[in-house]
Structure 1
Amino acid sequence: MTTSRLGDYLRSRRARVTPSDVGLPLDGRRRVPGLRREEVALLARISVDYYLRLEQGRERRPSPQVLDALSEALLLDDDGRLHLYRVAGMTPPPRHAGGIERADPRLLALAESWDRTPALLLGRAYDVLAANALGRAVFPHLQPGTNLLLTMFLEPSVRSFHADWDAAAANAVAGFRFLEGARPNDPRIHEVLRTLSENSREFAGLWQRRDARGKSDAAKVLLHPEVGELTLRMQTFDVRSAPGQQLIVYHAQEGTRTAEALRLLGSLAATHPDRRDDAPRRIT
């Protein structure tokens, strides 16, 4: 009998799912430890013959719709779904995301423990979902509930915050197109895109360039209204527990003026956590 990595994986997952796990009745003695092939085919809404060919390695290129149906039938989590796509030689499209995005409390607790490292948590459309205390102090215009891209183009005061606003804006738009390419049907991404296209000619011009690149290690020079110039390195981490979210972490070289400024901002934030003159708001 022929075999494949896909077939081996399907057999191993099928053996781990019981009929009661998926709401199927038990019908006497069973010769297999988990689901029968015909039960998986029924749950995935495909023919038994097609599923048999998948397990035997005679069919190696199922469609994304079939793989997602099998993921649901076999109760795979996000990592299991990703592995299923990989052994089928494919890259999974992101699961549909809708509604309100939330920050993982454990991730927030970790970020709050960084007293010298500003951090922002961005959603799938650059909504600022959370920031640690130092992040809120360094980026007073990016409080939780705002949107990074809308703020950059629709808040005039932000221009003076960046030493090179043009470069920062171009990088932000390229990152947003990169996100939009991964989630072309996301309603929140469409909402932000529509708002900017209607209200910012500069954004529209940059969007037409079709530059696309994800956030990566980079240096930023910021002109902070309280402590002056800050030179920060930026690192971006995908949040595995919430696909589409990104944790942006900034750091300064020890012994520099920026490192001293971050310590000052951290002290001020710890002493006066609610000292902002204006309440956070969301631009929509």
Structure 2
Amino acid sequence: MDITKLSGEARARRSAEMREFLRSRRARVSPADVGMAAGDVRSRRTPGLRREEVAVLAGVGVSWYTWLEQGREINVSGEVLDAIARVLRLDAAEREHLYLLAGLNPPRLPPVTGRQVPDGLRQVIDSWLPHPAYLMDRHWNLVAVNRAAEVVFGYGEDDHNCLVTFFSSARYRASLCHWRDAAQAIVGQFRADAARYPDDPEFGRLAADMCAVSPEFAEIWAEHDISDATRGTKSVAHPEAGELTFAYTTLTLPDLPGHRLMLHTPSSGTDTGEKVAALLGVAVG
């Protein structure tokens, strides 16, 4: 489908339909539906998601999503449309409609999910069981997650970015012990990463989008603190196993510049190892 060959009147109708369709789908999804932390609902004009919330949860820029919802003629990809469809809880027919409105042919098969990870690295992540391990890129997007990280931290298919999940997920927030201290550390780590890539605008975009949807992130970001992400301690209150405490180590990967491998081991003097093994149904080595 070539949207540029449509008449001016047809493009105007398509833009209007895109605008009304996305607004209506956004209005029917509440923050609780997508697991967002509770905010000040009194300031909302509608009970649905705000534009900036859809953008952040889908991993796209707020301005770009606004232009899409306004029906402007912008470049779109199937991957981005699928992310928006996921956030807005579109069914198969609605997803196809979104593709058509954007001027793309709907895919006949479900999209391939996940990013390519070298086989050797994938083996390391999986073999770290029964301890949590995951890989993220320089923008803190989750690239690979092992089963222990899914079970312990609750990472699922809707969690595409560690920073977004930390500040937007009510589930993740409820599970993390000493949330405020962890929030200051993670924002400091993200700011330090942003300084390493001064020519990469994605850091500024992501920070701006997070400030728009999370007053707590905006408050901590304004403090300009810097933290070391090399090692530390992470404690979670698991709904089944109780408190779990890990020491984590961050490894950089020369073959994947900007990527970091996060490896967690049970803190000494705790029963975290036994609890995690029980959750995974494996024997303690």
What is the letter of the counterpart of residue 226 of structure 1? E
Alignment correspondent of 2:238: 224
Secondary structure of 2:281's counterpart equals: helix
Structure 1 residue 215, shift from structure 2 partner? 0.7
Is 1:193 matched up with 2:211? no
Partner of 1:93: none
How far apart are residue 146 of structure 1 and its match? 1.5
Which of 133, 136, 148 aligns to 1:134? It is 148
Indicate which of 124, 143, 162 corresponds to 2:138.
124
Report 1:180-259 matches (<5 A). Answer: 180-253=194-267, 256-259=270-273
Q: For residues 142 and 125 of structure 1, do their structure 2 counterparts lie closer, same or farther at Cα, with a shift above 3 Å needed?
A: farther
**Normalising by structure 1, what TM-score?**
0.55
Question: Counterpart of 1:103 in structure 2: which amino acid?
Answer: V
Structure 1 position 198, deviation (Å): 1.0
Between the aligned partners of 1:227 and 1:246, the Cα distance in structure 2 is 28
**Match for 2:230: what amino acid?**
S
Q: Does 1:111 align with 2:125?
A: yes
CA offset digits 1:82-122 (Å, max 9, x no partner)? xxxxxxxxxxxxxxxxxx96433320111111222210111
**3-state secondary structure, aligned to 1:214:** coil
Q: Which residue is equivalent to 1:62?
A: none
Query: How far did 1:190 drift?
Result: 3.1
2-structure distance, mates of 1:156, 1:261: 23
TM-score by length of 2: 0.55
Distance 1:248 1:181, change over 3 A: same
1:130, 1:144 within 8 Å by CA — same for their partners in 2?
no
Please tell me the residue identity of whatever aligns with 2:191.
R
Shift of 1:214: 3.0
1:248 match: secondary structure:
strand
Q: Name 1:275's counterpart in structure 2.
A: none
d(CA) in 1 for partners of 2:196, 2:246 = 28
> Highest Rg: 1 or 2?
1
Distance 1:265 1:186, change over 3 A: farther
Give the conservation status (yes or no) of the 8 Å contact 2:132–2:149: yes
Runs of 4+ deviating beyond 3 Å: 141-145, 253-256
The SS at the match of 1:215 is: coil
One-letter amino acid of the counterpart of residue 153, structure 2 = F
* Count of matched residue pairs: 169
Where does the alignment leave 5 or more consecutive residues of structure 1 unmatched? 1-99, 269-284
1:129-165 CA distance string (max 9 Å, x none): 1111112111113658511111111122322111100
CA contact (8 A) 2:245 2:266 kept: yes
Distance 1:222 1:145, change over 3 A: closer
Identity %: 28
User: Does the 8 Å contact 2:187/2:217 carry over to 1?
Assistant: yes
CA distance in 2, matches of 1:212, 1:102: 31
Contact 1:237-1:247 within 8 A present in 2 as well: yes
For the aligned residues, what is the CA RMSD?
A: 2.1
